[in-house]
Amino acid sequence: MNGRYVVSIDQGTTSTRCIVFDHRGQLVSVDQREHAQHFPRPGWVEHDAMEIWRNVEKVVPRALSRGGIDASQIVAIGIANQRETTVVWDRHTGVPVAHAINWQDTRTDALVEELARTPGAAEVERRCGLPLNTYFSAPKLRWLLDHTPGLRTRAEHGDVLFGTMESWLIWNLTGEHLTDVTNASRTMLMDLSTLSWHPDSLDFFGIPAAVLPEIRSSAGVFGTVRTVLPGVRLAAALGDQQAALFGQTCFTPGEAKCTYGTGSFMLLNTGAGPVRSQHGLLTTVGYRIEGQPAVYALEGAIAITGSLVQWFRDGLGIITSAPEIETLARTVEDNGGCYIVPAFSGLFAPHWRSEARGVIVGLTSYITKGHLARAVLEATGWQTREVVDAMNADSGLMLRSLKVDGGMTSDNLLMQFLADVLDVPVVRPMVAETVSLGAAYAAGLAVGYWPDLEGLRRNWHRAAQWLPNVDPQWRKTEYDNWQRAVERTFDWIQPH
Amino acid sequence: MPGQVQSIARAAAILRLLAGGSGRLGLLEIARALDLPKGTAHGIVRTLQDVGFVEQDKTSGKYQLGAALLHLGTSYLDVNELRSRSINWADPLAARSGEAVRIGTLLDSKVLVVHHVFRPDDTLQTLDVGALLPPHATALGKVLLAYDAHGGAYGDLAPYTRRTLATPRALARALTATREAGWASDIEEMTVGEAGIAAPIRGYGGLVVGAIGISGPVERVCDAHGQPKVGLVTHVREAARAVSRDLGGRGL
């Protein structure tokens, strides 16, 4: 093929993908490799960072060869990555000191409880815009320093380096120890207003400054790649959800996207200043283009959406493939009065109830597997509604339409239900792979492949749109039922 | 009479073997039971695994009958699955062609629209997933009829326009041409001023499981001679091949 292209590497939770995009932002070719999930103990989730790096070395050349594209045609590389997953490696050998601790890992729960009681906790939370939680990187890094023999000394001497997955890949690709503002904003160590590591936060978590990468803009040249695609500029890195915000071209305050994967993440562009949430949302950096001020976002994380469908498939065996959930749900007219609240490991935004557990309520002998399938899909719709309500309340901006992406957007029944319960149009863009596209856009923008944000906007096209089409009274009654179902999940796990 | 195809006979024997006893066997056990070299048995089992007739247990590595075999009697490919698997290739087709994309399957002698991508000009368009189209008057329908093994009855050949193929003879000729070319078109056969191009989506073994196509104003879809533009035909066939590859088919 002729022409020039941008390569994006999406280092995700279960796999690493390389996608080549053309100047119109269209997918040209793709390759993907899964990596192993290690579960050494209950609640522990680890990745082998070396395996992930080797996968990057494989998928990039394969994606190029599938598209018949030569390395000389690549103008830039962008990285989007699973966020918060923490790895520490030896600066001299490049070998990780331990498996990476995954974002889902809850081994730090006791540590986090202890930290929450430590003086200064509230100030740390305010400074970084995040609540103390096992989810974020700083407790994971602290755990590694505490539990890996000799690591703290090596860290203080500057012999080991910390990074989230983008840092690990940037280091392997370019030899530089760097991160970007979006990933740094998920560590709990960065001051949201100055966009730099804060010494008091480092003290609070007991983290030596020597291990930290330098914080850069999301779109800007990080360095020149020495391997895989030698000579190509690495020109972007963003956390995956922020990359999706960028790929959906949500460049104006008030624009929001929701990515529907195993969990779902809604991000709302709040513009040049951080908005502090009163309703259980996270304050985060949306993106920063080099030479421009950072753009902030509010984030609503929903733990279980697509994974509820997976549970229906793998745990219950009622369907054999995820898309069949729609086929089954369409065998009935409505949910038959049945609701499923998938608080499998507590509830995330806006509730943040770790002691909650899932319920199926409204069961009668009338209920069939079709009704259950409906309730499975509706759970994703209502959980989104709760996050939207919180965002509207926090930001004072009323959501006017929702841009959606991710695997579940191929489910028409769900997308129509979303429009019905949110009472706004739901819009799917022409490129479903917005995470990868966002990284490509940011990289292409940084090297001048695309001129400006308006140029990117012109690439965005509506592929499908679902309009609200229900009686407001129905919406109100059903939402009320959902909220009563949610209340029934609370206080299930009792304190010891 | 043509000779027996040895590997098919062996594949059938492996399926019978897995259907009996405990239902789970390792490769060595299969090879031993049928007195086959391990490599030969592996090749056959892998092929059966590719088509979904055999599954491999992730932890034990043993083989068992696959879900596809149990659902042989029902629909071959769930329409929602087809949409989910083709969405990444339908979008680029819309972007490259500049026209709306639809994916269809046959349902009771009609074309059921299972996926629809808007024309990428951001004008107001309505999603018509679930709509039924007349097969004889659409490119999607002609492709589906051309490869429909149960074909014969074309249903109601209503004349939508002057150019609709409204006789069994004219339609049969068009279907033969479709099979020869590997794609079909409709030029003002359903709506005056509208044209479409479509190509088959193939699953395992080349079975046609759907059709993907574009449609739009005749002056954009066709050239000065009133024929579908070669570039657009290429885009449609490439998209069909890409989806087919994802589904495990060859996508001719």
Q: How far is B131 from chain A (nearest CA, A)?
A: 13
Peptide bond into A350 cis (omega under 30): yes
Q: How far apart are the first and last CA of chain A?
A: 63
pLDDT at residue B75 is higher than 60: no
Inform me whether the C-beta atom of residue A360 falls under 8 Å from chain B C-beta atoms: no
Contact A137, A188 (CB under 8 A): yes
What is the structure's pLDDT at A37? 87
- Residue A166 CB-half CA count within 13 A: 36
Across the interface, of A324, A407, A412, the residue whose CB is closest to B78 is: A324
* Segment 12-51 of chain A within 8 Å of chain B by CB: 24, 26-27, 30
Query: Which tens digit of pLDDT belongs to each residue from A287-340?
Result: 999 999 999 999 998 888 998 999 999 889 999 889 999 999 999 999 999 999
Q: Dump pLDDT digits (tens) for A226-275.
A: 999 999 999 999 999 999 999 999 999 989 999 998 889 999 999 998 99
Scanning every residue of chain A, which has its alpha carbon at the shortest distance from the alpha carbon of B71? A320
Answer whether residue A163 shows pLDDT above 90: yes
B117 reaches A (C-beta below 8 A) = yes
**Gap between the Cα atoms of A193 and A296, Å rounded:** 10
Interface test with chain A among B58, B70, B80, B81, by most A beta carbons within 10 Å = B80
- A106-111 CB contacts, 8 Å cutoff, 24+ apart: A106/A43, A106/A44, A106/A134, A106/A345, A107/A41, A107/A43, A107/A44, A107/A134, A107/A143, A108/A134, A108/A139, A108/A140, A108/A142, A108/A143, A109/A43, A109/A134, A111/A139, A111/A142, A111/A143, A111/A146
Q: Are residues A407 and B81, on separate chains, in Cβ contact within 8 Å? A: no
A412 touches chain B (CB under 8 A): yes
Q: Inform me whether the pLDDT recorded for B252 exceeds 50.
A: no
Contact A101, A107 (CB under 8 A): yes
The Cα-based distances of B228 to A285, B211, B213 in angstroms read 49, 17, 12
Q: Is B80 in the A-facing interface, judged by CB distances under 8 Å?
A: yes
Are A322 and B84 a contacting pair at CB < 8 A?
Answer: yes
| Window B:32-71, CB contacts with A under 8 Å | 67, 71
pLDDT in tens, B33-44: 888 898 989 999
Q: To the nearest whole percent, how much of chain A has pLDDT over 90?
A: 77
A462's CB contacts (< 8 A; 6+ apart) are: A427, A428, A429, A430, B118, B120, B122, B125
What is the Cα–Cα distance from A109 to A129, expressed in whole angstroms? 19
User: What is the structure's pLDDT at B6?
Assistant: 85
Give chain B's mean pLDDT.
Answer: 87
Q: Distance (Å, rounded) from C-alpha A474 to C-alpha A174?
A: 56
A–B interface: beta-carbon pairs under 8 A:
74
For A322, the closest chain B residue by CA position comes to: B81
Interface test with B, best of A21, A23, A26 (most B CBs within 10 A): A26
The pLDDT score that the predictor gives to residue B156 is: 83
Using N-to-C axis directions, what is the helix angle for A412-422 and A472-487, rounded to 10°?
Answer: 100
Q: What is the CA radius of gyration of chain A?
A: 22
Percent of chain B with pLDDT over 90: 49
Whether residue A285 contacts residue A237, with contact meaning beta carbons closer than 8 Å, is answered with no
Give the nearest chain A residue to B79 (CA atoms).
A327
3-state secondary structure of A431: coil
* Interchain CB contact of A465 with B (< 8 Å): yes
Q: DSSP string of A199-215?
A: HHHHHHHT--GGGPPEE
Mutate to test the interface with A, among B97, B127, B128, B214 (most CBs of A within 10 A): B127
Question: Mean pLDDT over all residues of chain A?
Answer: 93
Convert the pLDDT of each residue in A454-485 to its tens digit.
989 988 889 999 999 999 999 999 999 999 99
pLDDT at res. A299: 95
Which residues does chain A have within 8 Å of residue B120's beta carbon, measured at their own beta carbons?
Answer: 430, 461-463
Which tokens belong to A186? 């998920």
Over residues A106-132, the mean pLDDT reads 91
Confidence band of A349 (pLDDT split at 50, 70, 90) = confident
Chain A residue with CA closest to B117: the answer is A463
pLDDT: which is higher, A351 or B213:
B213
Point out the residue among B80, B92, B121 whose CB comes nearest to the CB of A326.
B80
Q: Do the Cβ atoms of A78 and A6 come closer than 8 Å? A: yes
Confidence of residue B51 (pLDDT cuts 50, 70, 90): confident
pLDDT higher than 80, residue A351 = yes
Q: Would you call A462 and B78 a contact, using CB atoms and an 8 Å cutoff?
A: no
* Nearest residue in B to A432, CA atom: B88
Read off the pTM.
0.83
pLDDT digits (tens, 9 = 90+) for A19-61: 999 998 888 888 999 898 888 888 888 999 999 999 999 999 9
Distance CA A282, CA A94 (A): 33
Q: Which run of H or of E encompasses B104? A: strand B100-107
The answer to whether residue A407 neighbours chain B at the CB level (below 8 Å) is yes
d(CA A143, CA A494): 26
CB within 8 Å of A218: residues ≥ 6 apart: A180, A181, A182, A236, A237, A238, A242, A246, A285, A287, A288, A289, A442
Nearest-angstrom CA–CA distance, A50 and A54: 6
Top residue of A321, A434, A459, A460 to mutate, by most chain B CBs within 10 Å, is: A321
Contacts of A324 in chain B (CB under 8 A): 78, 80-81
How many Å apart are CA B30 and CA B42, to the nearest integer?
A: 9
* Tens-place pLDDT, residues B175-208: 999 999 999 999 999 999 999 999 999 987 788 8
B67–A320 CB contact, under 8 Å? yes
User: Residue B50: what pLDDT?
Assistant: 82
In this complex, which of A410, A431, A466 lies closest to B84 when CB atoms are compared?
A410
Q: Does A326 touch chain B (CB under 8 A)?
A: yes
Residues 6+ apart with CB under 8 A from A222: A170, A174, A176, A178, A216, A234, A235, A236, A237
Alpha-carbon radius of gyration of chain B: 21
The residue among A54, A196, A35 whose CA lies nearest residue A128 is A196
pLDDT value at residue A352: 82
How far is the alpha carbon of A395 from chain B, nearest alpha carbon, in Å? 28
At B155 the pLDDT is 73
Distance from CA of B201 to the nearest CA of A (A): 18
ipTM value, please give it: 0.79
Q: Which residue has the higher pLDDT, B74 or B119?
A: B119
CA B119 to CA B236: how far, in whole Å? 14
Edge-first strand listing for the sheet containing A5-11: A27-34, A15-21, A5-11, A74-81, A233-239, A219-224
A127-154 as b/e: b if 16+ CB within 10 A = bbbbbbbbbbbbbbbbbbbeeeeebbeb
Q: How far is residue A398's CA from residue A254's CA, in Å, rounded to a whole number? A: 7
pLDDT reported for residue B30: 87
Which residues 191-210 of chain B have a CB within 8 Å of chain A?
A: none
Q: Could B117 and A407 be called an inter-chain contact, meaning their C-beta atoms sit closer than 8 Å?
A: no
Q: How far apart are CA A182 and CA B219, in angstroms?
A: 47
Is residue A359 predicted with pLDDT exceeding 50? Answer: yes
Give residue B251's pLDDT: 42
pLDDT computed for residue A347 by the predictor = 85
pLDDT tens by residue, A406-461 = 889 999 999 999 999 999 999 999 887 899 999 999 999 999 999 999 989 988 88
Percent of chain B at pLDDT exceeding 70: 92
Give the model's pLDDT for residue B16: 85
Per-residue pLDDT, B1: 56
- In angstroms, the Cα distances linking A2 to A22, A68, A70, A396 are 10, 9, 9, 48
Whether chain B has a CB inside 8 Å of the CB on A464: the answer is yes
Shortest distance between the Cα of B89 and any Cα of chain A, in A, equals: 8
SS3 content of chain A, % helix, strand, coil (to 5): 35, 25, 40
